[in-house]
Structures are given as structure tokens and as C-alpha cells.
Homo-oligomer: A and B are copies of this chain.
Amino acid sequence: MAVKKGKQTVVFQKKIAIEATAAFVGKKEGEGPLKDYFDTVVEDAMYGEKTWEKAESKFVKNTFEEALKKAGLKNSDIDYLVCGDLLNQCSGTVFGTREMGVPYFGIYGACSTFGEALTLGSILIDSGGGKTVLAGTSSHFCTAEKQFRFPLELGTQRPPSATWTVTGSGAAVLKENGSGPVIESATIGKVVDMGIKDAANMGGAMAGAAVDVITAHFRDTGRNADYYDVIATGDLGYIGRDLAVKYLAENGYEMPSSFTDCGIEIFDRKTQDTHSGGSGCACSAVVFCGYFYTLLKESKIKRMLLVPTGAMMSAISGKQGESIPSVSYAVSIERQ
């Protein structure tokens, strides 16, 4: 039975454990500073398939299978799948999971999807409607560039504010009374539109949603940044993180140096040229499922606030002069 705290936060009453996670990534991610934390590095962007889209679905299929395997569960043990991705009609996750035969909730939160999946998955379990949820997402540099920006073959120059879409998939098995780190509460974001129209400055567009949900989380719970060992946004990158620090200070919250962003963590700024950092649904998913989950399991950190961030524009909305609305979810995870 969940308890609403303040206007936007739900505190879970059951022990919703993250029983296991899996993170599969592409070559570039596998060369970054977190390389040792991923289950598998797939060197081939096509993953042996004929198209990038089929490769992305294969990431989903294999990652979700690995997460289940690590949790010692099979498809029939799972009450619900909660998943989605960036591709039109969320086809990365649909095609990657269509053979599983598990009741399905498709979601769309752009790059905030992993946060939305953890939140809804926890609510499903806390409601009593199920005991086990598989929450996951994916993204792929090539499918995202093709769909949202330019044909890769053009070799279009990327501006310094651009981020690099992470190739990979992350999945987490949530289990009532399981043994892993526990999802303690979640703050559900509102759609925030800062009026930014530059699709090559997603960090700027999403900073407002991240600030809004972190502020709501602090307000609803009475906490501040000191409560957490780590607060990590999803894919604001360097530019978005700096904006978020500035806006949060204006809201009265000074953020410590442990305030980071998954898009900053995943690539090495000096040796890997990704400009403002990593992005994509998989960014926060693989960084959490690979890196932070390991730190939590090993008690190197005890409390973290994961804040995946999503820019909700489409290729068409941008061409029609629309700005970029964003949304974000703040998920509080504790080592108990």
C-alpha cells in the first residue's frame, strides 16, 4: 500500500527489492570508464542483424533474458513487463520482448523511461497487483541519430552542446521482499517546457524537468542533498548538469560534488569525444544497472536518488517550430 507524500511523491510500504539487473552496451560504452561494470559489450553496432533497429531489439531481448537469469527467474515468474524506448512506437522494446508472453505495460518517457519504469513497477508491486516486475529500456546511437537528426552517412558535424546516444539496454527485476537494494520512494515529474528549441541541446531542455522533480522530491520528503550518497540525473550531460546546479541553488538547494549525471559518468571526456556527454534511454539504465547497482550491492553507497530525464520532442514537432517539453522521475534507492 503506497502512501502519497506531498504533491508528487509516493512512499512504498512494501519492500520492493531490485533483485537483479543486467546492462548490455555497445563498443564505445565498453571503452569508457565504466566498462568493467557491464555484463556484455557488443562490438558490432548491427549485433549480427540486418538493421540497427533489429540490433536494438536484440539488445533488449538479451539484456532482459540476462536480468531474469541473474534473478534466478523465468518469464512465467514475472507478473508484468514495464518497458519502452525512443524508437517510433516504442518498437525497440516491443520487438525485443514479443516472445516473452508476459503481461505488458508499454510506456513512453523518452530518456526518462527507466525512471518511469522503476516507478510504475514499484507502484504495481506496492498495489498488491503483482510481486515481480521486469523494468527496462534501450537506445542505440544509430537508430536515434537516423530517427531524430540526420542520416549517419552524411557525417554531419555535431555541435558542442550535443550528447551521444548510448547504445545498449538496461533491465532490472523488481521483487517483493527480494534481497537487493530497495526502492523506497519515487517522485513523479510534471512535463516542463523551458522553451528551448535546439534539439542539439537536450541537456538544456531537460534541466528544468530535473530541477523541478528534484525540488519536488526534497519538498515532499523534507530531505536535502545531504540525505543521499549519490544523486544522479539521467542524461543532462555537462551543459545540463551545470544548469541544473544553478537552478537548484536558486531554489535553495546547494548540490554537493557527488551530484552527477549518468551521461557524464559513462564516457571519458578527455579520451572519448562525445561533446556534452551521453544520452538516450539506455544511458541512465545501463549506468544504474551496471555501475550504481554494483556500488549499492557492495555497500559502497547506501542511498541514491536516480533521476532519469526525458526530452519529449519528435522529429516532426521540431520541424513545426515546437519547443522541447521534458519530464523526469526521481527514484530513491537504498541499501537496507
Q: Chain B nearest CB: distance from A162 CB in Å? A: 18
Q: Chain B nearest CB: distance from A244 CB in Å? A: 19
Rounded to whole angstroms, the CA-CA distance of A2 and B124 in the bound complex is 9
In the bound complex, residues from chain B placing their C-beta under 8 Å from that of A193 are 98-99
Query: Contacts A4-B129, A191-B94 known; A89 to B108 CB distance under 8 Å?
Result: yes
Contact between B188 and A91 (Cβ–Cβ < 8 Å)?
A: no
Q: Flag A182-220 by CB within 8 Å of B: 1 or 0 each.
A: 000000111101000000000000000000000000000
Instruction: Kindly state whether residue A116 has any CB partner on chain B within 8 Å.
Output: yes
Chain A residues 1 to 25 lying within 8 A of chain B, measured CB to CB, are: 1-4, 7-8, 10, 13
Q: Chain B nearest CB: distance from A52 CB in Å? A: 10
Contact between B317 and A91 (Cβ–Cβ < 8 Å)?
A: yes
In the bound complex, residues from chain B placing their C-beta under 8 Å from that of A53 are 316-317, 320
In the bound complex, residues from chain B placing their C-beta under 8 Å from that of A124 are 123, 127
Contact between B95 and A322 (Cβ–Cβ < 8 Å)?
A: yes
Q: Chain copies in the assembly?
A: 2
Q: Flag A45-74 by CB within 8 Å of B: 1 or 0 each.
A: 000001101100000000000000000000
Contact between B10 and A129 (Cβ–Cβ < 8 Å)?
A: yes
Q: Chain B nearest CB: distance from A191 CB in Å? A: 5
Contact between A90 and B103 (Cβ–Cβ < 8 Å)?
A: no
Contact between B2 and A94 (Cβ–Cβ < 8 Å)?
A: no
Contact between A54 and B320 (Cβ–Cβ < 8 Å)?
A: yes
Binds B, one of A165-173, A285-293, A307-315: A307-315
21 contacts between A and B (CB under 8 A): A1-B128, A4-B130, A7-B103, A87-B316, A88-B316, A89-B314, A90-B312, A95-B317, A98-B191, A103-B188, A104-B189, A105-B109, A106-B107, A106-B108, A106-B327, A107-B107, A108-B108, A123-B127, A124-B127, A126-B127, A126-B129
